[in-house]
Amino acid sequence: MRRTVLGLLVLAGAVVAQTRPPGVAISELLMAANDPGQAARLTDQILGIGLRRPAPRPVVEGFVRSLMAGLAGKQLTRSQADDMSRLIVNAAAGTRPNLTNVHDFRIALAKVGVDEARQDQISRRLIAIGEAVRGPDDLPARVPILQRPRN
């Protein structure tokens, strides 16, 4: 019995050690943004982040399409991809206010050389992800019903 439990613990530890944080996977996919096959994988990675509740698939797909079009022909450095990845994870997880997150993302897009019109489109779609997860900025972050204080 002890060997079985120990074996299961070792197996579980190995599985946990193999899983990468979502930010790392997103960063690698952003660096390969010129490959059109990466869009579906990036969409799946972003949908997998939803800590509270994930954004609807069509919203995320629209964001990924715009982002991939904006990054087409651009070569991202590791630090640029990491910054964008962190901001995407923050939006999909709802951990920061949408306005702050989008402002930082626009700065990252400008550093890469994405034009203003495409920045606007990508920003609107990132806001849509943040609002689907967190709610509008003028409201406090949504608290699940089970975590609300009882009166």
Which residue's structure tokens are 């919203």? Answer: 59
Amino acid 144: pLDDT: 56
Tokens found for residue 22? 């979502």
Tokens found for residue 16? 């946990």
**Residue ranges covered by each domain of the chain:** 21-137
Q: For every one of its 151 residues, what pLDDT tens digit does the chain have, with 9 covering 90 and above? A: 666 655 555 555 545 444 556 678 888 888 888 787 888 889 888 888 866 677 889 999 999 999 999 999 888 999 999 999 999 998 888 888 888 999 999 999 999 999 999 999 999 999 999 888 877 776 555 555 555 555 5
Q: Could you tell me where the DSSP H helices lie in the chain? A: 2-18, 22-31, 38-47, 57-71, 78-93, 98-112, 116-133
Which residue's structure tokens are 């901001």? Answer: 87
Q: Are 70 and 125 in contact (CB under 8 A)?
A: no
Cα–Cα dist 82/25, whole Å: 10
Amino acid 59: pLDDT: 93
Amino acid 87: pLDDT: 93
Q: What angle do helix axes 38-47 and 57-71 make, rounded to 10 degrees?
A: 130
Q: Are 46 and 26 in contact (CB under 8 A)?
A: yes
